[in-house]
């Protein structure tokens, strides 16, 4: 069974730039969620994708956007980067909504630093 994989693992950007983070879900999982985890904080929900559609969104501005592809992989895009966007970005896959109890299976994360 293949786990959740994310890329890149680390990256450095400057304010105003754009970034794309990628995630491949665990085999058998067609639902992908993205979380932002700032240092010393718990993960904050950004959004979730199911069947290539956004299926829930947290309190993040529109410059945070995403995609899900037919193979269930996903991208998180952040435009106009701000210093406060520096965080660990976590992708998690899970069972589809009808079978889901809330268990998440996380990738290793992408550490973004904005200078």
Residues forming contacts to another protein in the complex (CB under 8 A) are 33, 35, 40-45, 48, 56, 59, 88, 90, 94, 97, 100-109
Rg of the chain in Å (alpha carbons): 13
* Least Å from the CB of residue 82 to another protein: 21
Nearer to another protein, 13 or 106 (CB): 106
Nearer to another protein, 18 or 34 (CB): 34
* Least Å from the CB of residue 56 to another protein: 5
* Least Å from the CB of residue 35 to another protein: 8
Nearer to another protein, 42 or 70 (CB): 42
């Amino acid at each position: 069974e293949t786990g959740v994989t994310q890329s890149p693992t680390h990256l450095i950007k400057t304010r105003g730039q754009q970034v794309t983070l990628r995630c491949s879900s665990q085999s058998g999982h067609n639902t992908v969620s993205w979380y932002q985890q700032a240092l010393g904080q718990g993960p904050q929900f950004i959004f979730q994708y199911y069947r290539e559609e956004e299926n829930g969104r947290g309190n993040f501005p529109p410059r945070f956007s995403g995609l899900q592809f037919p193979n269930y992989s996903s991208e998180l895009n952040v435009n106009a980067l701000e210093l406060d966007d520096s965080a660990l970005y976590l992708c998690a896959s899970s069972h589809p909504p009808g079978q889901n109890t809330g268990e998440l299976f996380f990738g290793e994360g992408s550490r973004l630093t904005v200078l």
